[in-house]
């Protein structure tokens, strides 16, 4: 059973599975609950699909510096859409934000794993 389905049927089990204390759950607002129930499962599915598309350890090739480059190139269009009110012709703001979340998670993982800022060479992939 997925998180979204569990959320509809058994909230106590869900919050236990996620490691959330019941007293903390009661204090969460509706936005936080929507993110947990709706966005996190969708993000997980999207992350799996993108990871399968790009292949294992592909993000590590250029390391955190490469991720920064990917993050940076998405900031301009996102700024134009959200700050300037521009209509985008390619990726839309929600898709850009979802990609940014993926790049940020990849970067955090690399930093926590001690990946050199310039990445690993293909011969050292694990």
pLDDT in tens, 48-99: 999 899 887 777 788 899 999 999 999 999 999 999 999 999 999 999 999 9
Whether 23 and 34 share a structural domain: yes
Query: Is a pLDDT exceeding 50 seen at residue 122?
Result: no
- Give the per-residue pLDDT at 120: 66
Host domain of residue 17: 1-55
Average pLDDT over residues 103-126: 79
**Length of the chain as a residue count:** 126
Whether residues 12 and 46 share a domain: the answer is yes
Give the number of other Cβ atoms within 10 Å of residue 120's Cβ: 17
75 & 113 share domain: yes
Has residue 126 got a pLDDT over 70? no
Residue 77 CA, chain-centre distance (Å), reads: 18
Distance of CA 28 to the CA centre of its chain: 21
Q: What is the mean pLDDT of the chain?
A: 85
The reply to whether 11 and 44 lie within a common domain is: yes
Higher model confidence: residue 108 or residue 4?
A: 108
Same domain as 125, residue 65: yes
Domain count, the chain: 2
Compute φ and ψ for 75, nearest 5 degrees: -65, -40
48 and 64 assigned to the same domain: no
Q: Are residue 9 and residue 51 in the same domain, yes or no? A: yes
Environment class of residue 74 by beta-carbon count within 10 Å: exposed (0-12), middle (13-18) or buried (19+)? middle
pTM above 0.95, yes or no: no
């Amino acid at each position: 059973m997925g998180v979204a389905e569990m959320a509809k049927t058994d909230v106590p089990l869900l919050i236990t599975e996620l490691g959330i204390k019941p007293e903390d759950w009661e204090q969460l607002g509706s936005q936080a609950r929507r993110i947990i129930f709706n966005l996190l499962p969708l993000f997980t599915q999207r992350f799996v699909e993108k990871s399968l598309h790009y292949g294992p350890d592909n993000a590590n090739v250029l390391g955190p510096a490469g991720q920064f480059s990917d993050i940076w190139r998405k900031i301009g269009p996102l700024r134009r859409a959200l700050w300037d009110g521009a209509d985008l012709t390619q990726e839309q703001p929600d898709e850009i934000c979802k990609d940014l979340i993926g790049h940020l998670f990849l970067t955090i993982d690399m930093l926590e794993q001690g990946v050199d800022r310039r990445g690993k060479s293909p011969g050292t992939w694990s």
